[in-house]
A = this chain, B = another copy of it.
Amino acid sequence: MTMATTTSPASPTAMPKRIFNFSAGPATLPESVLLQAREDILSIFGSGIGIMEHSHRGKEFIRVIEEAEADCRTLANISDDYAVLFLQGGATTQFATIPMNFLPSGKTADYLNTGVWTTKAIKEAKNLGSVNVAFEGKDCDFDHVPTQEELSLTDGAAYLHYCSNNTIFGTQYKTLPSSDAPLIADMSSDIFSRPLDINAHAMIYAGAQKNLGPAGTALIIIRKDFMETGAAGLPSMFDYRQHAAKGSSLNTPPTFGIYVIGQVFKWLLNQGGIDTLNTRNIEKSALLYDAIDTSNGFYSCVSKPECRSLMNVSFKSPNADLDAKFVQEALDNDMSGLKGHRSAGGLRASIYNAFPRQGCEVLAQFMRDFTKANG
């Protein structure tokens, strides 16, 4: 079967109609970044060569990756004690390479299980070494992230791994878990959406496709002295030291992904930085949580109130039929991606940094109208 028809005319057009995209990831990107990419895809910096076509050893791409790293350091105030890496793959690759590097035989790593992604991280780690599940969220249907008192930590653990925001159940840590062991965080779904204490962490990683850019690139922020403790003799692509020594260009890096992430960093700085985004994210999520809390029980949250996520508002209507009706009617009103994850059901609005406030206002009004019509 040949499927060689193209999808739309190959000529420059004006701005197409855009709808509100509540997808959990890949997710909405800043419109100004997309418009910039549209220019740079044919020729960047007036070079006559598009961003995807430039050699990773040429001065144009070196400018792109150096600016991306510098902007990232500015944005989150990252010191030279940390390496900033842009690696191929997403968080799932990190689920394996973290224990490959930092979980030696004879040591145990602590993991906090707060959802589907930490469950996967634990599975990969158990395949490679000794793991203590220091909090098991399955027992409470993942309705909250643990308090410090709920943790059963290992003395002398290799590290403590947690996920700062759980996209599926809509929970988020408001205070950091604490341990004597090095702290490793999967921040794929809330990185740079609120102030974060880099220096409390040995390593932070994030797949790009929620808050940073296109799928297929991961951002790694890793303390150099911790990085140096990684296992010897690993395949080069799984050895953080080798990537750091080559400035993320050990082999051909995912140049376009790094370019888009760099543009998102510029957008974040131009917006006013993380504090501004944090304020905006609190307001955006409050619009939706208010619609839930004032619905007289029509909508309910998955998460306990004290750990509600600012990024993923996971909720349910009274039953699955109404959930399905909600998703369809929202789509008819140009709001896409509101169906909950297949493992949790219900409804979910993912409203990362780049998701516009106006979309939350429109959805909140829709939620109220839907309650009136179906309550």
A16 within 8 A of B: yes
A25 within 8 A of B: yes
Which stretch of A35-43, A133-141, A293-301, A367-375 is in the interface? A35-43
Q: Contact partner of A17 among B12, B26, B48, B54, CB < 8 A?
A: B48
A366 within 8 A of B: no
CB-CB contacts below 8 Å: A288-332 with B: none
Residues of the B chain whose Cβ atoms lie less than 8 Å from the Cβ of A214: 52, 254-256
A67 and B3 within 8 A (CB):
yes
B44 and A38 within 8 A (CB):
no
A1 within 8 A of B: yes
B1 and A29 within 8 A (CB):
no
Known contacts: A26-B53, A88-B216. The answer to whether A8 contacts B235 by CB under 8 A is no
Q: In the docked arrangement, what's the CA distance between A227 and B163, Å?
A: 33
Residues of the B chain whose Cβ atoms lie less than 8 Å from the Cβ of A90: 88, 251-252
Q: Closest chain B residue to A35 by CB distance? A: B10
Q: Could you tell me the distance in whole angstroms from the C-beta of A310 to the nearest C-beta in chain B?
A: 20
A14 within 8 A of B: yes
CB-CB contacts below 8 Å: A247-277 with B: 250-257, 260, 263, 265-266, 269-270
Q: Contact partner of A217 among B50, B74, B124, B216, CB < 8 A?
A: B216
Q: In the docked arrangement, what's the CA distance between A4 and B216, Å?
A: 24
Q: Could you tell me the distance in whole angstroms from the C-beta of A222 to the nearest C-beta in chain B?
A: 19
Known contacts: A39-B10, A89-B88. The answer to whether A215 contacts B50 by CB under 8 A is no
Q: In the docked arrangement, what's the CA distance between A13 and B37, Å?
A: 12
Q: What 1/0 flags go to A162-199 for Cβ under 8 Å of B?
A: 00000000000000000000000000000000000000
Q: Could you tell me the distance in whole angstroms from the C-beta of A360 to the nearest C-beta in chain B?
A: 17
Q: Closest chain B residue to A74 by CB distance? A: B2
Q: In the docked arrangement, what's the CA distance between A208 and B103, Å?
A: 33
B252 and A39 within 8 A (CB):
no
Q: Could you tell me the distance in whole angstroms from the C-beta of A223 to the nearest C-beta in chain B?
A: 21
Residues of the B chain whose Cβ atoms lie less than 8 Å from the Cβ of A211: none
A235 and B127 within 8 A (CB):
yes
Residues of the B chain whose Cβ atoms lie less than 8 Å from the Cβ of A148: none
B41 and A28 within 8 A (CB):
no
Residues of the B chain whose Cβ atoms lie less than 8 Å from the Cβ of A88: 88-90, 93, 216
B36 and A38 within 8 A (CB):
no
Known contacts: A16-B43, A48-B16, A217-B216. The answer to whether A7 contacts B36 by CB under 8 A is yes
Residues of the B chain whose Cβ atoms lie less than 8 Å from the Cβ of A41: 34, 37-38, 41
A-B contact pairs, 9 of them (CB 8 A): A3-B67, A12-B15, A16-B39, A16-B43, A18-B42, A18-B48, A19-B49, A89-B237, A209-B255
